[in-house]
Structure 1
Amino acid sequence: MVIRRTAAFACGLAACALALFTVPARAGLPTAPGPETAPVPGLDPAATVVEAMQRDLGLTAEQAAARLANESRAAEIEARLRARLGGAFAGAWVTGDTAEHLMVATTDAGQAGVIRAEGAHPVIVRRSLAELTAAKRALDRAAADRAPAATPLWYVDVRRNLVTVHAADPARAEAFVARSGADPRAVRVVRSGERPRPLIGERPLPLRYDLRGGDPFYLGGGSIRCSVGFSVRRGGTSGFVTAGHCATAGATTTGPNRVRQGTFQGWSFPGDDHAWVAVNENWVARPWVVTGTGLLTVRGSRPALVGAAVCRAGATSGWRCGTIRQLGVSVHYSQGTVHELIRTDICAEPGDSGGPVVAGNQAQGVLSGGSGDCVRGGTSYIQPVNEILSAYGLTLVTG
């Protein structure tokens, strides 16, 4: 079956946008907005995402709005089917310009009716998601012992029901797979030109005192620059999350105006690629991401599916959109391997590291690294935000 587009089109772009990007008011409960819930001046956040999707995904405004609605519904259906299918679940993804098709893989043909009843398309496969994940983790363990220099990344590819290994030298990658003990029937090696690298850069920056995702920050008073991810809190302390490779122990940060900003409280790289900074009283944590035309208000951190549209903000290349290609990807940088990343076809540039990635108004993660650039096109790798929040006991600042 097809995820219905009729309702998305019938309500019109403005109504669909309101349904996706607003939270219903609760009658009789007056609110006193604090600094992190103040309204964004002069901008419809839904329009910001729709405009970027039109530019980068080649969609019309109506298609972009329909895609956001379909992807939101697909995420809810996927969660229900994951629970119902149990050990037979083998992954899910969306397809089509408006994400109108939800594909759900299972190893049990007898459960096809359950999948169809939810409006999704069943795909019968040989291996469960648990089996594929076990094969990938065998590669992760092998990389911890001896990192494969010519093997930049590997991941569970739910659409192929395989673990895919990218390699500049396939023969060396095959040896890496054999050494790992992973089931060779579950793994394929492909020749790849991806060259992952952390994206630190330098450039003149605008003045800002609000803490906003996508704005730049400097390490101490130097020239090394990364991007703010999402605003967070821990207890009474405000701050932001970013990439771990942007941090050093006890390092301080300054904002784009060179005003003292904060101090790194925790970081991890490689293995993971995340960090968080506690800011001082000069900076106010906002639930905002800087886009090409204004600010987007972050509402939550519900994970998106493979195939979903995502957009990224960065201090160098700005506001860019693309789609999720794979989840749970292991990426080998020269500094070491980082696991459980999201791979997208969004381009990125040095200086974008740590910047926020969203699906609609839902936080997905922060930029870890990339391959290629925004002139010829490229690939980017994203550290999931919910893992960061859990690792440091943080709460996402939302509007």
Structure 2
Amino acid sequence: MKTSAYRLAGVLALTAAVVGASLQPASAEGDAAVLTSTPSPLSTSASSAPKVSAGLSEALRRDLGLTAEQAADRLAREETARATEARVRDVLGSSYGGSFFDERDGALVALTTDPVKAATVSTKDVRTRVVRYSAAELDSVKTGIDALAGRHAPDAVNGWYVDVRTNSVVITVNKNKLDATARDFVAKARAGREHVRVVEETASPRPLADVVGGWPYYINFGGRCSVGFSVYGGFVSAGHCGRAGDTVSDHNGVVTGTFAASTFPYYDYSWVRTNAGVTLWGYVEGYNGYWYYVRGSAQAAVGSGICRSGSTTGMRCGTILARNQTVNYPQGTVYGLTRTNVCAEPGDSGGSWISANQAQGVTSGGSGNCTSGGTTYYQEVNPILSAYGLTLILS
């Protein structure tokens, strides 16, 4: 694929991956990560390691402190983990306790309550750990807390999620806002459940939309958010960015589309139907002169490296910490978010999340910033596509 074939001169575009008239998508040549070890029965082969743009590799090296060789090796090993995780889950069955990618040795760690089954999936690419609770048990506890919260938990309760690494359910609270209502909620959530532990934080999450975001777009000529991913007919983004019927415009003030559907709170996703004449591209902007490939939407394992693009702070990377977190925003409770240690700021809302070349989700909100660091959550892209019957535009 020649990069010169994708110049944007003269194109009106508001998409998940445009970078401006003078920039081009990066070539993937030479960027294939290679896994040099011999694949096991539960591993992918070296030839299936992902091809990623040079810009994505640069962002991973910057934010995760890796050399070029380390970044290539990690991408290959994460690809192996991604392909292996579903098969490990099937083998372990009801004893499955979750899994995560361990960056220290580049292996998938599979948890199980059955020591006998643990031996059946152990390979050099898959380590096993025997735990007390199955993933189904922990998910059930988490669902019980969801029901306890209803539409909104006390303000001091930031959220809750299944922490695969510690085989527990974690409730996070803002210790600076704790009051009797929050303590009562936590006590009820923990009652009779040894699975649950509480972690104190010093800030609370908020949606990252602001009147100040891949590319920026503007809602009703006011607040700014970031495009998530191009789909046939438009693009997906965060639900809190706008309501059905709101107009969307680009940085030149040209109306480029309308919110066709939006959900927030409960979930945080939306899709914008673009107007005729808007060109949609299956890439993500890197804010560094590169486009990043979007080749699918396979879910990455917990512990995998991940990058997000937003119009306020550009491309930032980190790791996936947990899935299916419930987050308690001031506007209401949102379910099914993924927790990361990537930073973000207002205006980044709705922006793209990718792991290697696989679309992962759109920015919802978080706490902290890109000066001191923080926690950011994204809504997974596959449920958005399913909810609205949409299909990604691929590179």
Q: Partners of 1:278 and 1:272 in 2: how far apart?
A: 19
Displacement of 1:293 after TM fit? 2.8
After TM superposition, the score normalised by the length of structure 1 is 0.84
Give CA deviations for 1:101-130 in whole Å, capped at 9, x if unaligned. Answer: 211000111112112147311110110000
Q: Output the CA distance in 1 between the equivalents of 2:169 and 2:316.
A: 28
On the 8 A contact 2:322/2:339 being kept in 1, the answer is yes
Match among 133, 137, 145 for residue 131 of structure 1: 137
Displacement of 1:173 in angstroms is: 4.6
Note closer, same or farther for the CA distance 1:182–1:342 as it changes in structure 2 (3 Å cut): farther
- Per-residue CA deviation, residues 49-73 of structure 1 (Å, 9 max, x unaligned), is 1100111000001110111100010
Match of residue 356 from structure 2: 360
Aligned to 1:208: none
Q: Secondary structure at the match of 1:264?
A: strand
Give the 3 Å change call, closer, same or farther, for CA 299–332 of structure 1 in structure 2. same
Q: Is the 8 A contact 1:317 1:374 kept in 2?
A: yes
For residues 321-369 of structure 1, the C-alpha deviation after alignment (integer angstroms, 9 at most, x for no partner) is 0000111111100000111100111100110000000001100000000
Aligned to 1:255: 250
Matched, 1:189 2:184: no
Q: Distance in 2 between matches of 1:139 and 1:340?
A: 13
Q: Give the secondary structure class of the aligned counterpart of 2:86.
A: helix
Change (3 A) 1:183 1:242: farther
Cα displacement (A) at 1:46? 2.4
Change (3 A) 1:94 1:183: farther
| Structure 2 residue 61 is the aligned partner of structure 1 residue 54 | yes
Q: When the two structures are aligned, how many residues end up with a matched partner? A: 351
Aligned counterpart in structure 2 of residue 268 of structure 1, from 242, 258, 263: 263
**8 Å Cα contact 1:70/1:100 also seen in 2:** yes
Larger mean Cα displacement after TM superposition, 88-97 or 62-71: 88-97
Structure 1 contact 135–183 (Cα < 8 Å) conserved: no
2:225–2:349 contact (8 Å) kept in structure 1: yes
Cα distance in 2 for residues equivalent to 1:247 and 1:18: 39
Which of 98, 107, 117 is the matching residue for 1:111?
Answer: 117
| Alpha-carbon distance change, 359 to 254 in structure 1, aligned in 2, over 3 angstroms | same
1:288-307 correspondence runs (5 A): 288-291=283-286, 292-307=288-303
1:242 match: 237
Q: Take 1:181 and 1:322, find their aligned partners in 2: how far apart are those partners?
A: 31
> What does the per-residue CA deviation read over 1:235-274, in whole Å, with 9 as the maximum and x for residues that have no partner?
xxx1000000001231110012211111111111011000
Structure 2 residue 226 is matched with structure 1 residue 220? no
1:100 matches 2:106: yes
Residue 115 of structure 2 aligns to which amino acid in structure 1?
A
Please state how far the C-alpha of 1:184 moved relative to its aligned partner. Answer: 2.0
Percent of pairs with identical residues: 46
Q: Which moved more, 1:367-376 or 1:166-175?
A: 166-175
CA RMSD of aligned residues (A): 2.0
* Highest RCO, 1 vs 2 (Cα 8 Å, sep ≥ 6): 2
Matched AA of 1:306? V
CA separation of 1:183 and 1:268: change in aligned 2, threshold 3 A? farther
Partner of 1:162: 168
Structure richer in helix, relative to its length = 1
2:89 counterpart letter in structure 1: R
Q: Please report the TM-score for the alignment, with normalisation by the length of structure 2.
A: 0.85
Distance of aligned partners of 1:146 and 1:49 in 2 relative to their CA distance in 1, 3 Å threshold: closer
CA distance in structure 1 between the partners assigned to 2:315 and 2:243 by the alignment: 27
**Partners of 1:106 and 1:123 within 8 A in 2:** yes
Task: Map 1:336-347 onto structure 2 (within 5 A).
Answer: 336-347=332-343
| Contact map agreement 2:248 2:258 (CA 8 A) in 1 | yes
Quickly say closer, same or farther: Cα 1:67–1:144, change in 2 above 3 A.
same
**CA deviation vs aligned residue, 1:173-209 (integer Å, no higher than 9, x gap):** 5521443476520100111123111112344x9xxxx
**Distance (Å, rounded) in 2 between the aligned partners of 1:266 and 1:375:** 34
- How far residue 93 of structure 1 moved from its aligned partner, in angstroms, is 0.6
Distance in 1, Cα, partners of 2:91 & 2:312: 44
Structure 1 gaps, min length 5: 9-15, 22-44, 206-213
Q: Alpha-carbon deviation of 1:79?
A: 0.7
Q: 1:101 to 1:174 in 2, by over 3 A?
A: farther
Report if aligned partners of 1:138, 1:182 keep a CA contact under 8 Å in 2: no
The amino acid of 2:145's aligned partner reads: L
